[in-house]
Structure 1
Amino acid sequence: MIALLFSILSSTMIFVVFKLFSRFKINTFQALTFNYVTACICGIILQEDSIKFSDVPHFEWFPFALGLGGLFILVFNLMAITTQRSGLSVVSVATKMSVVIPILFGLLYYKESLGLFKIIGIILALVAVYLASIKTKEGIKIKLSNFIFPVLVFLGSGTIDTTIKYLEGEFIAKSDIPIFSATIYAMAGLIGFGILIFQLVKGSFTFEFKNLVGGIALGIPNYFSVYFLVEALRSNILESSGVFTVNNVAIVMTSTILGILLFKEKLLRKNWIGIGLAVLSILFIALEKW
Structure 2
Amino acid sequence: MKKIFLVAIVIIAIGVYGLNKYVESQLEKMTHNNAYDNCNKIWSARGLYSDRSTENTIESFQKAFAAGAKGAEVDFFYDPETQVFYVTHDSIVRNPDGSIEDPNALTLEQLLSYFGNQYYWWLDYKNLGRITSEQTQAAIRRLQVIMDKNQGLKEKVYIEGSNPLMVSEYTRAGFKTILALDLLPASNPLSEYLVNLYKIAYYFSDITVVASRATHRVNPENPKYTTRIQEQFSNIPIFLFHTPDDPKYLQELMDDPLVRVILVGAGQSIDRFDISNCSQKASTNN
With normalisation by structure 2, the TM-score equals 0.28
With normalisation by structure 1, the TM-score equals 0.27
Report which of the two has the higher share of strand: 2
Report which of the two has the higher share of helix: 1
Q: Does 1 or 2 have the higher relative contact order (CA < 8 Å, sep 6+)? A: 1
**Quick check: which has more Rg, 1 or 2?**
2
